[in-house]
Structure 1
Amino acid sequence: MSIQRLPVIVGFGGINAAGRASGHHAYARMTHSALSATQQSRTLDSLATLMGLEGGESHQQFILDHTLVRRIEASHFDVDAVRWNQRLPTDGDSQPASFDLERKYLPDVIPPHWVVKGTSVTHVNVQIVGQQDFLLPTYREFDVKSAGQLPSGFEPGTLYPSRNHPRGLQMTVYAASDALGSIGLDWETISSRVAPDQISVYAGSAMGQLDGAGAGGMIKSRYNGQRVTSKYCPLSFAEMPADFINAYVLGSLGSTGASLGACASFLYNLRHGIDDIRNGRARVVFVGAAEAPITPEILEGYSAMGALATEKGLRNLDGLQLGEACDFRRACRPFAENCGFTIAESSQMVVLFDDELAMELGATVFGAAIDVFVNADGHKKSISGPGVGNYITVAKAVAAARAIIGDKALRRGGLVQAHGTGTPQNRVSEAEILSRTAQAFGIDEWPVIAAKCYLGHSIGSAAGDQISTTLGIWHHGILPGITTIDAIAADVRQDHLAFSTEHREVDTAEQKYAIINSKGFGGNNASASLMSPLATQRMLQTRYSGQAWKKWEQANERVRERQQAYDDGMIAGTISPVYKFDHGVLGDGDVKVGAQQLTIGPHTVRLDQVSPYDDMKID
């Protein structure tokens, strides 16, 4: 059996409702009340920079009020007056409808029941004899009024020449740049150590870019009498986040793509990255997702399914009368009495190195991505309903962790990041799966974390939110409580599980693993096994000599200094996202093709492949 490379987490970044992921700042916003005054102050300063404010502590309450899940703000749309077109049928049989308009606004094909008479060189009179449907632009109040929005005032498109990019791609540029900066190594240093075909990027959007600058604008333009631009269609593709990272951040020539699995999409892509490193196809992998679904059209689609928490549903939960104010900050209530999930926007990126490259460059070890398991639900009654496939993924992920750390550490040194959407079906089905799995593996008091109570549900990026939260737990030693609920619902199975409505301290020295769980529409289930920084270091120390480990520690000191400098610069607002438009573009003249290798600029791609089907070789 050949030795496989270990996928080590060496960087992470992103942006969600809690703020910037790198430096554990988004996590720190979630656990703000449990942190020291110094930690609180630094995270407030980080958020203040994002929000365009001077000084964090002087704006503390505003920052706290305008982060995490909250009432949808006007920067997205006005929930009290959402634009829509009301159908307005008219009947002109007895009395023809008549109106004047400029000739240039006449349709190319005049309807047969229109009588058009010229009144001047520029104007005509139209009489409509018979029935005619009009669409009347008007407004209505929206049922859904809460979402997990980026911190108020933060607009990623203003930080680089965004050229009308869809919001999800703007967030992608920010997140990828943040992840790159968090590594503490120059990209030129990294890319010079690996062949160009040994870098992979797997990132996407479960729903594509559906706002007005993407597919949403393309689909609506004709019906709104507007012109379709050349950018709408190409920028709306679901794999475009990976394309943007390759083309404008890294300049990567390696493997790329996006694997889609609804709300489990991030883990689907993480599986590709893990497989590439374990099998030697890549030494560096960027894994990510970007989702920007806070638009009236998308929210209305989920609301029509009965999936979202509405104002009426929240009012009924809290026993409020019509006119009484809802607490939209508590819209997402995982594992409690609830009425639906809360949609959110987020872009999250994780950077993986193989263990040899991490040791060579002195990269900081944030953890290791051991494996991801994906299973469908089989036959279903409802495409959106839960099924049994998640039993397989969770059990396999736990078994994968056990295979590395053993039964004893498994039972006392882990946690599970639940999908925890805040829907009545999820609270019952997922708790049942986690409880029965914990029982089978002999785990008692398994800590269950539900990050969506703070961040909302960011669809394809949701597991990225869960992973960055997990890395924060391993750094700060605080388990975020499910603080938006009063109590666990009576129909939620709690055997062998440890839910909490308050933050809890945990001994990071005892933490060995985490299970990241995702469930997606259509029966897409994925569960990942992550190893903690300490467990990963123990794994590395068994593979490398003491001398090699000491060399890594010395190199890592310099990396940590650069990571600290990056975080300081981001808080100070002196670092902009990496965006290299029309930079270093290669052409035919830069490529030399040989029988044994291909050269592109200073990089070499080997062509001396060995057949994996040696016993089937044809001479």
Structure 2
Amino acid sequence: MRLPVIVGMGGVNAAGRTSGFQSFRRMIIDVLPDHERTDTLLGLAVMMGLVTAEGGDVGKSYYRDAAAGEAGKLLTASEVAEQYGQRVIDGTLVRRVESSYFDVDALRWQSNGTLKPDPNQHTGEIQFVLATNQLPKELPDNWSLQPQDDKHVLVTVAGDLNVKIDNFRDFPFKAAGQLPSGFNMSELYNSRFQPRGLQMALFGATDALRSMGIEWDTVLKHIQPDQVGVYSSSGFGQMDANAYGGMHQARMKGERVTTKSLAMGINSMPTDFINAYVLANVGIASSSVAACATFLSNLRHAISDLQTGKIRVAMVGNSEAPIGPELMDGFGTMGALATDDNMVKTYGDTVVDHRRASRPFGNNCGFTIGEASQYFMLMDDELALELGAPCLGSITDVFIDADGVKKSITAPGPGNHITMAKAAAAATAVAGGQALREKSFVLAHGSSTPQNRITESQILDQVAEAFDISDWPVLAVKAYVGHTIAPAGGDQLAAALGTFQYGILPGIQTIDAVADDVHQQRLKMGPEHQQINPDNLEIAILNSKGFGGNNASAVVLSPMRTESMLTKRHGEQAMSVYRQKRENSLAAADDYFHRADNGDYAPIYRFGEGLIADEDISMNQQTLTIKGLANSIQLPQTNHYADMTDN
């Protein structure tokens, strides 16, 4: 079976850019060496539009205050970190919803009102003047009209009149995991009023692609064009004004629905955008949706197709932009989101600390919504070696199990016990029991709800007991970036790869202590970072629990363990050649990371480029050729059911 190797990662969440481990470094910035802390703050300051780069490589160039422009004095990287560091810290991770999204203190809405006749008039009627073209198509039975001029009528209403009143209200859910303050993707390319979630998908896919350090055209020269798969989606579709949000609101606001609203809102659109505008892909397009386990559901399809040879390269990920009053109202009505009032009651604070709104496994009162775009490039092991691609780790298994009969569709059930037990057993089968017991850790779903802290910790603790694990390290990255719904598992995978790289397991720094009702006899979690030699970290298990019984757990192997497996399969000589080739990829990737830290993102957007016309396609019974593509597509010739047919 082919091994799916992770060769690139990209995206953006509340902690920053995924590639080059920027977002991971932001989460552990308090324990980074000075030079890495400076680089992290610098890259984020540029991303947030606080400073602009004046050219050169990071650490060697100079920067200016973006607001001052040419009048601003030149600053070194360390000066940027010193002067703007606190603004970077304050403008990242979970925080109070910024006004660029909507005003949580004065959210516009329509309240109901009933107008009654003036009792002093003794007529029992209400009168007002209305433009003729604003009259309803069918007049209510208690309305009568009297013309005033060519364009207006006097309306007399017998009795009460129900109306909608333009109003404002205080929004009870005021915290979210927002992208870094000031970062505006729409200015990076001709975004054509595209929904925010699709802008994020283009950014994340580009970031992941360039993080490989290998040109995409080079990859395509080594494979058939249909041996590429994109596995992506959003959980709720695109809900802002340029998509479903605008479509749902238009008529109620007296406006017209735009031609793009429906198409742009479909939850498979992140896949479609990446295929059409980033990769120019003619291979597999797959979009799975599984609530909060959506990322792992897409990942399962990708690794299955890689393992069986159906594809050779996969881009896997999700993009979600759910920070808006409609979705937050929906979750809040369910009682799932942390409100300011409940935080005051739960934590006993007189002033709400929105920075600590998300508190997995601590004393908590609900989760905090977040937005993110997370994408990963995977190749089968043979192609990764052939191209000299980076090795960030590998994925061996993803398990998905439902809950069976449920009393409430949102309640947990036994499915997650099954997926976690399977993941632990599969990790043992591949890496051995000792590696699981001594060199593994868990990226928990950790949603920050009272129910999750009890049920998930019980599952993890029971699995640890069954597999004789003590002090199993448990991470919960939603404390930093919030719950990003579809990409949540991608946030976890990015953190797992960062942990392999740095040997630092981010603590749950938003909690004071683990809650008393959390099962932790065999688990190790808390607010403190855990620092471990990277050589002693070989296995990460990702866990997702989604509404409706969407449970998923995945086994991720470290770069060191992955290379050990590659050596056993391909031999020392092949690995030596691979590592020599990889030097070029790593150098190119590092160059991209430096350019991106200086604000040179340039999302790939191939709108209308390289269109394939009917006359560009030729075929016979064995192959199909498309003009402009390096290789032909081999048509199926093998009968996989030979024992059942006469052919």
CA contact (8 A) 1:45 1:57 kept: no
1:83 alignment partner in structure 2: 108
After superposition, the C-alpha distances for 1:245-291 in whole angstroms (9 at most, x for unaligned) are: 00010000000121111000000000011001000000000001011
Pick which of 124-133 and 404-413 moved more.
Answer: 124-133
1:164 alignment partner in structure 2: 193
User: Using the alignment, how far apart are the partners of 1:129 and 1:593 within structure 2?
Assistant: 75
CA contact (8 A) 1:335 1:489 kept: yes
3-state secondary structure, aligned to 1:47: helix
CA contact (8 A) 1:46 1:56 kept: no
User: Using the alignment, how far apart are the partners of 2:283 and 2:177 within structure 1?
Assistant: 34
1:409 matches 2:406: no
1:116 matches 2:113: no
1:604 alignment partner in structure 2: 632
CA contact (8 A) 1:9 1:351 kept: yes
Cα distance, 1:91 vs. partner? 4.0
Q: Which runs of 5+ in 2 are unaligned?
A: 52-79
Q: Counterpart of 1:119 in structure 2: which amino acid?
A: Q
Q: TM-score, normalised by structure 1?
A: 0.97
1:617 matches 2:610: no
Cα distance, 1:104 vs. partner? 2.6
Cα distance, 1:604 vs. partner? 1.0
3-state secondary structure, aligned to 1:559: helix
The 5 A counterparts of 1:109-258 are: 109-258=138-287
1:63 matches 2:92: no
CA contact (8 A) 1:197 1:255 kept: yes
The 5 A counterparts of 1:522-601 are: 522-601=548-627
1:53 matches 2:42: no
CA contact (8 A) 1:13 1:349 kept: yes
Pick which of 229-238 and 500-509 moved more.
Answer: 500-509
3-state secondary structure, aligned to 1:509: helix
1:73 alignment partner in structure 2: 98
After superposition, the C-alpha distances for 1:558-577 in whole angstroms (9 at most, x for unaligned) are: 11110110001101122311
3-state secondary structure, aligned to 1:173: helix
Cα distance, 1:166 vs. partner? 1.0
After superposition, the C-alpha distances for 1:587-618 in whole angstroms (9 at most, x for unaligned) are: 11111121111111133111143121110113
2:475 alignment partner in structure 1: 449
Matching residue within 466, 478, 498 for 1:472: 498
Cα distance, 1:56 vs. partner? 4.0
Cα distance, 1:95 vs. partner? 3.0
Cα distance, 1:548 vs. partner? 1.1
CA contact (8 A) 2:12 2:204 kept: yes
User: Using the alignment, how far apart are the partners of 2:275 and 2:636 within structure 1?
Assistant: 26
Q: Counterpart of 1:474 in structure 2: which amino acid?
A: F
2:73 alignment partner in structure 1: none
User: Using the alignment, how far apart are the partners of 2:395 and 2:613 within structure 1?
Assistant: 36
Matching residue within 484, 505, 513 for 2:510: 484
Cα distance, 1:325 vs. partner? 2.0
Number of residue equivalences? 613
After superposition, the C-alpha distances for 1:285-309 in whole angstroms (9 at most, x for unaligned) are: 0001011111111111001111000
2:67 alignment partner in structure 1: none
CA contact (8 A) 1:283 1:353 kept: yes
Q: Which runs of 5+ in 1 are unaligned?
A: none
User: Using the alignment, how far apart are the partners of 1:530 and 1:277 within structure 2?
Assistant: 15
The 5 A counterparts of 1:94-113 are: 94-113=123-142
3-state secondary structure, aligned to 2:161: strand
User: Using the alignment, how far apart are the partners of 1:414 and 1:114 within structure 2?
Assistant: 73
3-state secondary structure, aligned to 1:460: coil
After superposition, the C-alpha distances for 1:421-470 in whole angstroms (9 at most, x for unaligned) are: 10000000000000010111111111000000001000111000000011
CA contact (8 A) 1:597 1:605 kept: yes
User: Using the alignment, how far apart are the partners of 1:46 and 1:426 within structure 2?
Assistant: 35
Q: Taking structure 1 as reference, are residues 424 and 94 closer, same or farther at Cα in structure 2, changes over 3 Å only?
A: farther
User: Using the alignment, how far apart are the partners of 2:386 and 2:458 within structure 1?
Assistant: 44
Q: TM-score, normalised by structure 2?
A: 0.93
After superposition, the C-alpha distances for 1:371-398 in whole angstroms (9 at most, x for unaligned) are: 1000001111111111111000001111
